[in-house]
Amino acid sequence: MMKKESEKRGTVAAKAQKHVIVLGAGRMGADIALAFAIGGWRCDVVEPDASVRERATTYWAKELARLRRKSRSRSMKLHASLDAINGRAADLAIEAVPEDMQAKHELLRRLEPLVGAKTIIATNTSSLRISDVTSVLEKPARGAGFHFSVPAHVMLIAEITKGEQTSDSTIRKLTQWTKELGKVPLLINRDVPGMLINRIQHAMYREIYSLIDSGVATPHDIDCAVRFGFGFRYNIIGPVMSRDIHGLPVHLATARQLLPTLHNGQEPGRVLVDLVDKGHHGVTTGRGFYEWPKKTTAKRLERFATLLDESYKRIERFGEPSDF
């Protein structure tokens, strides 16, 4: 069951402070470090790129101030190299570098000799098979998938994936730590690319891009359909439970009529490919499906983060699906 707010976020247990090493200080790594720091962990973050380190430092200060948790900044330390940290006593190491298998393998090979025998080594990959990423470990039983959603310090879940050689004790520890961070652990028992969230999301996005490409609807109307339609109830009841409430016979009848008409292509939507090819990458470039002017984007994103925090407080009243 999800714990109360006072127990969930930022409460440091009386026992010895746990230690995590985060490899990469990009958007994902920086947010993961924040999640652990807020949860009372000591965080060593390794990032060789000086500009990324500078950006992470600025981001942490601003975000902790927004969350009124300035003292947590002392729990996070940035390093330019793995050699600069003492990882022998680390409880956990998480790689959060881009989705490049070769880069991940090289990093894990360098990391393993520098950490203790009991240190769990996790990958935050969002699309690669966990077993493939951790195959280079000499002790693959301690390797697992530990995937966070953006922003990691705000979102409520963490996906824990068991690789082919991951031990049960590794999964138990990651599950317990996830709960101590105030998050809901999603256990993935089969090592499939994308785990739960990305597989579900991309099935939806495939249809969304098809609707845009064929002129059925605009991005704005699609966003409204999700936000104010079925998505409106999903932070109270999930999509599976909602089928029970609305009735399975009508769901079955609709599925039989609708499924043959859905897009089932194997390539990304044309609209997505065209935007990327033109350099319209979203917030970072000022344009994607929407316009993101520099003078207003920061405030828009800050409002988004604030609304997520407010949603968090509402969701905890309902607990997990089994508590509904």
Contacts of residue 306, defined as CB under 8 A and 6 or more positions apart, other chains included, come to: 66
Q: Are 88 and 118 in contact (CB under 8 A)?
A: no
pLDDT of residue 8: 47
Q: Region 284-301: what's the mean pLDDT?
A: 94
Span 76-119, pLDDT tens digits: 999 999 999 999 999 999 999 999 999 999 999 999 999 999 99
Can you tell me the distance from the alpha carbon of 32 to that of 149, in angstroms, rounded to the nearest whole number? 9
Can you tell me the distance from the alpha carbon of 308 to that of 303, in angstroms, rounded to the nearest whole number? 9
pLDDT of residue 10: 44
Q: Which residue has the tokens 């900044």?
A: 73
Span 181-216, pLDDT tens digits: 989 999 998 898 889 999 999 999 999 999 999 999
Residue 254 burial (10 A CB sphere; 0-12, 13-18, 19+): exposed
Q: Is the pLDDT assigned to residue 44 strictly greater than 80?
A: yes
Write down all domains in the chain, each with its CATH number in brackets. Answer: 5-188 (3.40.50.720), 197-292 (1.10.1040.10)
Between 46 and 15, where is the model more confident? 46
Q: Do you know the residue count of the chain?
A: 324
Looking at residue 302, its amino acid is E
Q: Is the pLDDT assigned to residue 53 strictly greater than 50?
A: yes
pTM of the model: 0.83
Q: Give DSSP secondary structure letters for 153-174.
A: TTSSEEEEE--TT--HHHHHHH
Mean pLDDT score of the chain, rounded to an integer?
89
Dihedral in degrees, nearest 10, Cα atoms 86, 87, 91, 95: 130
pLDDT grade for 179, boundaries at 50, 70 and 90: very high
pLDDT grade for 75, boundaries at 50, 70 and 90: confident
pLDDT of residue 14: 43
Looking at residue 205, its amino acid is Y
Structure tokens at 308: 């997520």
pLDDT grade for 248, boundaries at 50, 70 and 90: very high
pLDDT of residue 13: 42
State the DSSP H helix or E strand holding residue 65, giving kind and residue range, or none if neither. Answer: helix 50-66
Span 127-136, pLDDT tens digits: 899 999 999 9
Q: Is the pLDDT assigned to residue 237 strictly greater than 60?
A: yes
pLDDT grade for 265, boundaries at 50, 70 and 90: very high
Q: Which residue has the tokens 């785990």?
A: 195
Q: Is the pLDDT assigned to residue 152 strictly greater than 60?
A: yes
